[in-house]
Structures are given as C-alpha cells and as structure tokens.
Structure 1
C-alpha cells in the first residue's frame, strides 16, 4: 500500500503528517525562513534607510507594513531582523544540545559523576529561565554572541536531563553489555550504542528550545538587556515601537505576529516529530 513500508509499518513522513496542522506549520516556517534568508533580494529597501517625512506612516502602497519612528521600512526591517532572531534560535538549539549531551551522557554513564552533575542540572533548572538569562547577559554583555551563549547555558539542562534519563536505561541493555564484552572502548559505546539510540528525543527537544530561545531573545530585547539595539531583531523592533503604541500600534503587532507564528509553527513541528519518532506513539497512530 502507498504510504507504508514493505514491513507493513507506517513511514516516517506518514507519521509526521498524521496531524493535519503539522504540514501547514512546516510550510509556514519554511516560508518564513526562506523570506528571511533571502531578505537581501526580497526586502523593498535598505532596512536602515531613514526618511523623516515618512515617520510612523501606516501600512499602505508606499510602505506595505508601514514605517517606524525614523521612517524606516518595517517590512525590510522585519525580514532582516528575522535573520537574527532565527539565527539566535538555531544557535541556541545547537549549542545547548551539544552541552546537554555532554553533561547528560557523562551523568548517565559514569556513576561517580552522576550525583554532582545531577545536582548541577537541578540547581540550574531551579532558576526561572528569563531571570537566569538576564543575569548571564548582564555579566557577559549585550551582543548577539553573548545572548546565544547565555541562552544556551539556560536551556542546556533541559537536554541534559533527557539524555541522562535515557542513558541510565540504555547502559543496562544487553547490547551495551555485549559491546563491553567485545572490548569496545567507553567512548565508542557512548557514541555508537547510546547516543545513536537517543537522538529522537534530543531532536524533538531541540525544536522546542529553538522556539523558547526566540521568545527569550524577544523578552531580553524588550527589557533592554538583549542584543545591541543597533542590531534589528523582532524583539528590538517591539522594544522600539512600544513608546508609539498609541500612534502606531502596528510597530508592535507586526513583529509580535512574526514571533508568535514562528514559535507556534516550531511547536507544532516538534509535536509532529515526537509522534513520528516515538515507537509507542507510532504504533497507536
């Protein structure tokens, strides 16, 4: 039958798209990503070009999404800012995954390190994400790189906890014991026999962290402790537009909608990946 493998089990894509919202979310996110990546070709003007005469112009024929307080085209800034916001989200997802995998594997595989690393994970997760991020950015300084580093430290414990829990189960399975008996090195067992079998929950959690990081960056920028204000992000656009909410509410609503749609799309994609990659859910579907 179409859509099933020769073994009679549903294919990955069939499981991924079993929820009708997932393909829609994927299409929307790919569209947003494409528009932002190719902003240099799509944006109608330079995002930093000012025009005093055009300040706070509402959306219309001249400025499709309006102009800000400096007369800069909101659509152009939205596209260029999306590059930075999406880049921060992706960077945080990748770096936090690497840090979390290293800590989680070490805690789950080496019993002597488990107690100390588990307490470290618990201690970091005891702090509210935004407060810990504010403290780290305040120490490191406000820049795109420092925001990525700070948020990666904040979200790494989420990955570490998942990796540790999965490693504790897998290290006791017969095929791991067989690998030990055959003389495989510890690193080989950790990466070839443990990590390869826990990639699914890591990938799923990574999509959620991507979304969380975009929201956190927007929150930091809104509070004035995030990326340098001269670097456009969706969060800095909201921060710049908040003082003109009575005159030009679109300055807040437009980047706010961009953040909301992107985050919602990532959450739905993550839900679809979880359903497709979890064997128990796959059987139910």
Structure 2
C-alpha cells in the first residue's frame, strides 16, 4: 500500500515539468539559434556541436525549434486544461448543491460525453478554421465533462458534512458555502485531473499539428515538425525523432506528477486500489 509522501516517480515528474517550463520561459536565451533562421549549407545535417539535434530540410536548427515549440505546446495545453477545469468545476458544484439543476446540468454533460473528443475537435476546427482560438475552443469543449462528473460526486458527499450543515445553521448563503466549504474539498481532485490532463492535451495539440489543423507555420510546433520530418525520415531521422522525444518527455513528466499528486492529495484512492489488489490476489 502506498502512502501520501513524495515518491521517486513524482519527483522525476516534478523535475521534468519544472525543466520544461523553465525552457519554455527562457527559450530565447537557451536555444542555440534563431528557430526561423535558415542555414542552407547545413540542411538535413545530423547532430553536431553547432546543431545539437541537427538541422531540418531548410537548414533550421532542430534543437532551437524543439525548445521554442515548448511555448505553444505547453502554453496551449495549460490554457485548455484551465478552461475545461473551470467550466467543469462550475457545472459540478452547481449540480451537486442546487439539486433542481442537477438533472439539467448532467444531461448537458452527457450530451458532450456522447461525442468522441478528438472528433469534436476536428469538426470545430474545420468550421472555425485553424487558429489558436479555435484550437483552445476545440480541445476545451470536450474536456470539461469529466471534471463536472468528478466534482459533482465529491461535492455531493461534502454537502452532507457537519461543517456544511453548521454553516447553513448560522445563516451562511449558498455562495459562501460553495466558496469556503465545498470548493476547497473538490480542488485536490481538480488539481490531480488537470495535471494528468495537460499531458493528454500536449498529445492532442501535436496530433492536430500533424494533420495541419493545429498551430500554423512558421511557429515551431512539435506535431508539425513530426509530419515535416516523415518525407526525409531515412536521410534525416533526427527531425521526427526529436519531436517524438519532446512529446514523450512532456507527457511522461505530467503523468508522473499527476499520479504523485493523486497519491498525496487523495490517500483514500490508494487504500481502495490496495484493497482491490488484495481481493484479486
């Protein structure tokens, strides 16, 4: 059975996430070259001292483009996750506390659950056109229902707690109870799901970029780099492999951090998992 202390996996995830964020913030200082500058004499050149991860077919530094690609990938992933968490949390707490609204809000949530998220994103971007705004809306719309479901279940349990009943007894209004009694209790679950969700959003952003529907050139983006490197995969595999490695490291970091936060913030889930394992064994 796990406990709620720091685990090696969580520590690795935290280091990876902090390192990625540091590189994204100081990309201009860390990158060895301008990501858009062309060095045609070095096109498709492999890794070297001057170009640590080689150069692409236009002679641009792959390492510089990978580092600058952190900004749209992580920036958009965090923005999309924050929007989904905010909408889902509002739906969840309102459905749990204001019981007459529960059926209506949950049926709206079920309608969004009925559509595959990535398909909905493709349809939204096809209608709105490729842009940063459409990307945020397209990936944020299918993301909030899972927050609503989890928050509602947590809030339903919290609204029956003694301190909530005591707040009602002394005349506290619904907004006060939601803000000071229920929201603090559901935030650990929201933080955990959000951290895990950032990794999945990085994959979705790269997937849309791979299809040409994500962040548009000349902005460096990992999915676009991946598809651009496929035609020259045999001659210059470092282009696609570098983009794949960047995506994998990002997803790994946020997944490990999210799992660690789940273990720390919700120890009861560990007890439940342990009991299930004992039953199976």
Fold conserved between structures, TM > 0.5: yes
Matched, 1:237 2:229: no
Q: 1: distance between equivalents of 2:135 and 2:67?
A: 20
Q: TM-score, structure 2 length as denominator? A: 0.91
Q: Which moved more, 1:133-142 or 1:93-102?
A: 133-142
Deviation of the 1:229 alpha carbon: 2.7
Matches within 5 A, 1:28-107: 28-107=16-95
Deviations 1:26-77 (A, max 9, x none): 1122122212211111111110001222211111123110111111000111
Q: CA RMSD in A?
A: 1.9
2:278 alignment partner in structure 1 = none
Give yes or no for contact 2:125–2:138 (8 Å, CA) kept in 1.
yes
Q: Which runs of no fewer than 5 residues in structure 1 stay unpaired?
A: 1-13
1:208 alignment partner in structure 2 = 196
- SS of 2:4 mapped into structure 1: helix
2:277 alignment partner in structure 1 = none
2:260 alignment partner in structure 1 = 272
Q: 2: distance between equivalents of 1:30 and 1:49?
A: 28
Matched, 1:15 2:4: yes
Correspondence for 1:254 among 215, 235, 242: 242
Q: 2: distance between equivalents of 1:277 and 1:192?
A: 18
Give yes or no for contact 2:10–2:261 (8 Å, CA) kept in 1.
no
Deviations 1:210-258 (A, max 9, x none): 1111110011111111122322111221122222222211111101111
- SS of 1:198 mapped into structure 2: helix
Deviation of the 1:198 alpha carbon: 1.0
Deviations 1:59-100 (A, max 9, x none): 112311011111100011111111110101111121111111
Correspondence for 2:106 among 93, 103, 118: 118
Q: Which moved more, 1:197-206 or 1:171-180?
A: 171-180
**Closer/same/farther in 2, CA of residues 136 and 47 from structure 1, 3 Å limit:** same
Q: 1: distance between equivalents of 2:23 and 2:132?
A: 21
Q: Which runs of no fewer than 5 residues in structure 2 stay unpaired?
A: 275-281
Structure of higher RCO (CA pairs closer than 8 Å, 6+ residues apart)? 2
Give yes or no for contact 2:45–2:56 (8 Å, CA) kept in 1.
yes
Matched, 1:151 2:139: yes
Equivalenced residue count is 272
Give yes or no for contact 2:54–2:62 (8 Å, CA) kept in 1.
yes
Matched, 1:167 2:155: yes
Q: Which moved more, 1:196-205 or 1:59-68?
A: 59-68
**Closer/same/farther in 2, CA of residues 16 and 254 from structure 1, 3 Å limit:** farther
Matched, 1:183 2:171: yes
Give yes or no for contact 1:97–1:159 (8 Å, CA) kept in 2.
yes
